[in-house]
Amino acid sequence: MGMRTATTTFLAGCLVLAAGCGTTAPVRQAASTTPATPVSSTEVPTSTPPTKGPKQVKPVGNAINTRKARWTSAKPVSKGRKVRLVWWSGVEPCTVLDRVKVKETGKRVTITLYEGAAPKAEDISCIMIAVEKTTTVKLKSPLGDRKIVDGAKS
């Protein structure tokens, strides 16, 4: 039995050495054959879904727990008679556009978005994911040279 134990120990030691040597050699080889340039960009778009653009929404007027929401862009449309707003928001019905307040003066147009939760969202678990939304508001008079200001920032 003493001989068998010694043989087992000897074999186990050889396996450890072989495993140790086996793991270091491929690492060196892999490091020397790894290309210095990143993966080509032609492979990236296949893994990302195509973008559809912002979701068009309209004010619902009955949201609860409303708060101001900052928009990311405001673009004059319809010859300056309307402004198209884009912003990041949450999923419906957990986050809906309640109303848009437009204050016009001779020098600026202040537009404030108000968001909240739809009344039916009280008993719903809401996932935390960002959704890009857009809405268009009508001005009393064409924009002209007036500056568009985000009312949620002031």
pLDDT one-digit tens code per residue, 72-95: 999 999 999 999 999 999 999 999
Residue 135 CB neighbours (<10 A): 20
User: Residue 1 corresponds to which tokens in the numbers above?
Assistant: 């039995």
Q: What is the extent of the structural domain holding 133?
A: 51-150
24 within domain boundaries: no
6 within domain boundaries: no
Q: How many domains in the chain?
A: 1
Mean pLDDT in residue range 45-68: 81
pLDDT one-digit tens code per residue, 1-33: 554 444 444 444 443 444 444 444 444 444 444
104 within domain boundaries: yes
CA dihedral 95, 100, 101, 102 (to 10 degrees): 150
pLDDT of residue 90: 96
4 within domain boundaries: no
pLDDT of 113 higher than 70: yes
112 within domain boundaries: yes
